[in-house]
A and B are shown apart, each in its own frame.
Chain A
Amino acid sequence: MRLRLRPMAAAAAAAAAVASPIIPSFLHPSRRLRLRLSLSIPRSTQRCFSSRSCVPRRRLTTVAASTAKGDIGGVEERFDVIVVGGGHAGCEAALASARLGARTLLLTLNIDRIAWQPCNPAVGGPAKSQLVHEVDALGGEIGKIADRCYLQKRVLNLSKGPAVRALRAQTDKREYAMEMKKVVESTPNLFVREAMVTEILVGNNDNVEGVHSFFGVDFYAPSVVLTTGTFMSGKIWVGRASMPAGRAGESASQGLTENLQYLGFETDRLKTGTPARVDRRTVDFSGLEPQHGDEQVSWFSFDPDFHIEREQMCCYLTRTTKDTHKLIKDNLHETPTYGGWVEAKGPRYCPSIEDKIVRFQDKESHQIFLEPEGRNVPELYVQGFSTGLPERLQLALLRTLPGLENCLMLRPAYAVEYDYLPAHQCSRSLMTKKIEGLFFSGQINGTTGYEEAAAQGLVAGVNAARHSCGKPLIVLERESSYIGTLIDDLVTKDLREPYRMLTSRSEHRLLLRSDNADSRLTPLGREVGLIDDRRWDLYQSKQARIIAEKQRLKSVRVSGGDLAAEVTLLSGQPVKDSVSLESILKKPHVQYNVLDKHGYGNNLLTRMEKECVEIDIKYEGFILRQQSQLQQIVNQQHRPLPEDLDYYSMTTLSLEAREKLSKVRPQTIGQASRVGGVSPADITALLICLETNRRKASERKRLELQRSSIADVNDLNSSPVLTSHAVNSN
């Protein structure tokens, strides 16, 4: 099956490349003209790969045309939600949707690659771990699987504050994919099928009706989630050599980009890469610095059922040498960026080793981590060593690293280019603005990372399911979560590189901690329907214990004794007589375990719960200050903007603001203020326009009412006020 598909896809690509610039109309003789000539030309030149016959492409369209006529014989496949893509976004989307009761179809190019980790075998890290905790708090899956399949876990930024503390797990790549696949396959309402989607079926009202596959099957659903990852017109590069592929050894998805362009979407191209894998058995670890996991393991999931400890593996640290730098400098012309044959810029936070060496000339050495990819496989991931050098130089380059002098390479480093859709085309529910019921999530929106993908997948899945049964969509506000921040950034800002979540992207990160992800989001998860009774009970009793413990610490007082002596020692501050445990906990360097040590702790609480209590008490002042600052801006920021605003008619806005706002079409004032090129003065002008419009409208309404029935004027006049009060009391 796979073997047969691949040459066909390649041929199809070639067909598009050859045919479209010359005779575009010939390409799609069926139903409608699918390609816009202007858009297809640059795309086709990118894909000049080989020039074989264009027959397969023609056959494809013929087949498509015949099924579209609605011939008898086929089984019509109807679903509530179709998720295209089985990566980290697709899995979360499909699971969320199915768990909400929607009949969900997950279409993937290869069932054996569900939830694959094509790059770093790790989950979490700064900001990313917050995303994982949040997804888990909402009833998502990524945290549970990472907890189940970890090889090593470490808490980063331990001493830098509760908000930036971050859990990172090295995961067993194969086990991870297997476990997720098991969950996907065993979830009721969720159906999995291999298919390459080439077309979105659109109804008369610009609403999605389903998808059409390469082999000519139509699947119908009122909601479709696209999570195409790096597969949409994907192309991989090693040195100067390239081939169409979504990942090494996996065929790209062809045709969908053109279809989306035909539907009026703007597409663009991004690039990312992955380093080489080496054989662990050929690496000499004796001289390398080992990096062990934490002795006390922390967890992504709030569900204690998944807190099962397992044996940990070790990572190792090595460094680039003079030889590494020399080899790269001598061969710079062989790399895509410096050789000048690939223009697409990679993300700043994943620079290739040649970028690091060129840009930071004075740095003599860069550190490189060696991470195991699994318990039963020999692959080692060489973190920090991605390169665009040709394969013939890659092994030599690897062998310049201490410990890798005799290593064998299992997979070469490669880069991948793919199509994405600038996410300003989505609203914050992740539904596209153009086609109702069509959702995008993951790398198609320009992000990078499994965690970012999972976070979007969950939101898209929930909203796809809600959309399919006519419920209002959910939007997570920026201030509510990293998920909200991520999506708000994506749909609002003009992004030029793959977007990675970073703690510094959140303005109020002190409030968006991993320890309170559940108390921020689990109630929403419950309301939406992703948190079952068991999880809800667990959650509620946890919150109750935390509140009770805070009360207890407030009321219990101590005078003198060992505790006071140790606290004085730790904090360097005197301890007054009859001081509450709460005040003791507020002192610097005094942690909850000091209370435990002296018998003042509470054994009913878990370690996590104690940490929650400690954070709430220790940083109360800061947290309250941030909270009140947030509340001051939130009313203004969350003021909704009507969807049909004509920004071009607002002459008081700057020209740039008019253009950008028309493009982004923000949903709130706050979002508008974050659109690049919109100044505070523009926001004020916008507020005035809104108020003017509102008054004109209410004036018109009043006149109409007066005209229609003078007797009713008094009653009717008061009605808008009443509704507005009803809204406010919610």
Chain B
Amino acid sequence: MALRALLGLHIHHLLLRRNPKFQKFPNYFNPTSLIPRSRTLISRFSSTGKNLILTKDERVGTSGTVEGLGTIAAIVTSLGGGPAAVGIVRLSGPMAVDVASRVFQPAKRNGEVPWRPRSHFVEYGLALDLEGNVIDEVLAVPMLAPRSYTREDVVELQCHGSDVCLRRVLRACLEAGARLAEPGEFTLRAFLNGRLDLSQAENIERLISAKSVAAADSALAGMQGGFSALVKGLRKQCIELLVEIEARLDFEDELPALDSSMLIDKINLMWHDVQQALDTADYDKLLQSGLQIAIVGRPNVGKSSLLNAWSKSDRAIVTEIAGTTRDVVEAHVTVQGIPVTLLDTAGIRETDDLVEKIGVQRSEAAAMSADVIIMAISASDGWTEDDKKLMEHLQMNQMSTSFATPMILVINKIDCAPSITEELFEINTRIFKKHVCTCAVTGQGIVELEKAVLEVRGLDSIPAGGRRWTVNQRQCEQLLRTREALSRLKSSICEELPSDFWTIDLREAVLALDEISGVDISEEVLSNIFSKFCIGK
């Protein structure tokens, strides 16, 4: 234990050192410093230029405005780069302490008292999920505003370095009310709150523009798999229910009464769907499944041999007969700490054999849902017409889903034809991000292949979770928030609250399910109302 504590402290010191301003300018946070810190504190009752802006309900006691933005959380140490000793989940925002106190239980006190951390004072304790199960032993490092990286309240939870631990702690934080941070959001807040110098602003701008690209990418990435179909389906259902209810609120006397039992059934079904998805999408399982790599190619280029060589097993049957592999064969390997599932597929070709035909279909399906596609060709045969057809076919499939899975070209059986013509690669560099020469028999090229896989997935150098991971975390967060909203909705219905109250949580569910936030759902609901119902004077 003492060791853990020391380790934690050590990391903390590192953190301090990383921000030299902490030490160089001890009065950096002095209120008389040049930069006013209160960028986010402009009161809504203040006069802005010529205009007096007012909002207030005198009957509801003003509970004081919450300063700044929402509270965000993310894993800030790198993931997927092999197990590290310590990983950090960072919380930042006005509710950071509040959220942390729901996740973190200090060892010294019992959980009854609200946790009142002393700033910059490390505490040892347990991280619990909302049901009270222990997730990990952690060190909590509270850094209260303004003496923190973002100048908001920051709490860092230092966990054991395994990805599983980190993800579970993060999930607990999200369940406790934090929102998953956008890429670069901590730095953005630091900047907007007056930290960092101007020269760094440019970097942030770059980060933000990269962010919108990343958002588009992740929206695209979300298109594959049942996950996003689920999210879209749920969102559509929520909107439909909203339309049913809202139409009757604005046009009461023109529509038949609401069929509330139908509504309740639908809501229950949706809740069930979300819960099921959350169960299956549990982080631990996601981590277990890791990356999926489909090995495709025309028959008899040595896909199965490659799988066997890579997984150092005899998982797949290898013969000289073309079309030996008929179903998808799985093998598991670990690439720099990331679990990887290799999918050996049936050679794709035109065939009349029914069993093989099904196999071919499955191969295509595997390729469609994989994270990386490895297309194998045989060096001895060179770039054949069939290879070309197959490549075009894969491209077509990708275009239909408008999502480009990175593809690697593996030139197998390199031992049979050691010299390869250069023009082969000139044709293919646009489609294949990498090419590797291998010899499945000797295991030559496997290391290079592993490196190529990490590179094309961008896992070699991404600091805080690869893009693929981010998508999953986000989807998980979406579902969590949706489940909360639907749970509240169910209880509203149970308590027989009027239908207007149902719309509040339905709207929240829709917002949670929106892949890109900031969409104006009011207009969407309205146009659905007008297209669905005949209303108006």
Residues on A facing B (Cβ under 8 Å): 120, 126-127, 156-157, 159-164, 166, 275, 347-351, 356, 359-360, 363, 366-367, 369, 383-384, 386, 428-429, 472-477, 479-481, 484, 502-505, 507, 509-511, 516, 519-520, 523-524, 543, 546-547, 588-589, 612, 616, 619, 622-624, 626-628, 631-632, 634-636, 638-640, 643, 652, 667-668, 673-674, 679-681, 683-685, 687-688, 691-692, 695-696, 698-699, 702, 717-718, 720-721, 724-725, 727-728, 730
Contacts and interface: CB of A to CB of B under 8 A. Distances in A.
Contacts of A730: 43, 45-47
B48 A640 contact: yes
A639 B42 contact: yes
Given A349-B530, A691-B192, A695-B35, A635 B252 contact: no
Nearest to A694: B39
24 contacts: A126-B252, A160-B248, A161-B500, A164-B500, A348-B536, A472-B49, A472-B51, A504-B249, A504-B526, A509-B500, A619-B497, A622-B504, A624-B63, A634-B65, A679-B212, A680-B516, A685-B209, A691-B191, A692-B198, A696-B198, A718-B32, A728-B46, A730-B43, A730-B45
B253 to A, nearest CB: 7
A270 to B, nearest CB: 16
A635 B42 contact: yes
A680 B518 contact: yes
Contact of A360 (B31, B497, B534): B534
A671 to B, nearest CB: 11
Given A159-B498, A504-B529, A520-B56, 17 more contacts: A356-B536, A367-B254, A429-B50, A472-B50, A475-B53, A476-B53, A622-B504, A628-B66, A631-B65, A679-B516, A681-B208, A681-B211, A681-B215, A683-B518, A684-B188, A685-B209, A728-B46
B15 to A, nearest CB: 24
A160 B499 contact: yes
Most buried by B among A347, A349, A510, A720: A349
Interface stretch (B67-75, B130-138, B324-332): B67-75
A328 B188 CA distance: 61
Contacts of B517: 680
Nearest to A368: B537
Given A681-B212, A688-B204, A519 B58 contact: yes
Interface in B33-61: 33-36, 38-60
A688 B201 contact: yes
Contacts of A718: 32
Contacts of A383: 537
Interface string B492-524: 000111111100100100000000111010100
A673 B534 CA distance: 32
B535 interface: yes
Nearest to A166: B252
Nearest to B213: A681
B246 interface: yes
A120 B536 CA distance: 12
B205 interface: yes
B193 to A, nearest CB: 9
A144 to B, nearest CB: 22
Interface in B17-42: 31-36, 38-42
B230 to A, nearest CB: 23
Given A692-B201, A728-B46, A588 B525 contact: no
Given A351-B536, A631-B65, A684-B208, A477 B55 contact: yes
Contacts of A652: 205, 208-209
Contacts of B250: 126-127, 502-504
A520 B57 CA distance: 4
Contact of B518 (A519, A679, A692): A679
Nearest to A524: B54
Nearest to A681: B212
A126 B248 CA distance: 10
Given A349-B535, A681-B212, A157 B496 contact: no
A473 B47 CA distance: 10
A504 B246 contact: yes
Nearest to A275: B537
A721 B53 contact: no
A720 B57 CA distance: 32
Closest 9 pairs between A and B when the two form their complex, measured CB to CB? A161-B500, A480-B55, A161-B498, A681-B212, A640-B48, A519-B59, A519-B58, A348-B530, A588-B496
Interface centre among B46, B68, B253, B525 (most CB of A within 10 A): B253
Nearest to A156: B252
Contacts of A360: 534
A360 B530 CA distance: 11
A673 B69 CA distance: 15
A543 B49 contact: no
B57 A519 contact: yes
Nearest to B492: A622
A640 B40 CA distance: 11
A479 B498 CA distance: 22
Nearest to B191: A691
A476 B201 contact: no
A515 B33 CA distance: 47
B63 A631 contact: yes
Contact of B51 (A347, A366, A429, A728): A429
Contacts of A474: 51-52, 54
A638 B65 CA distance: 12
A638 B53 contact: yes
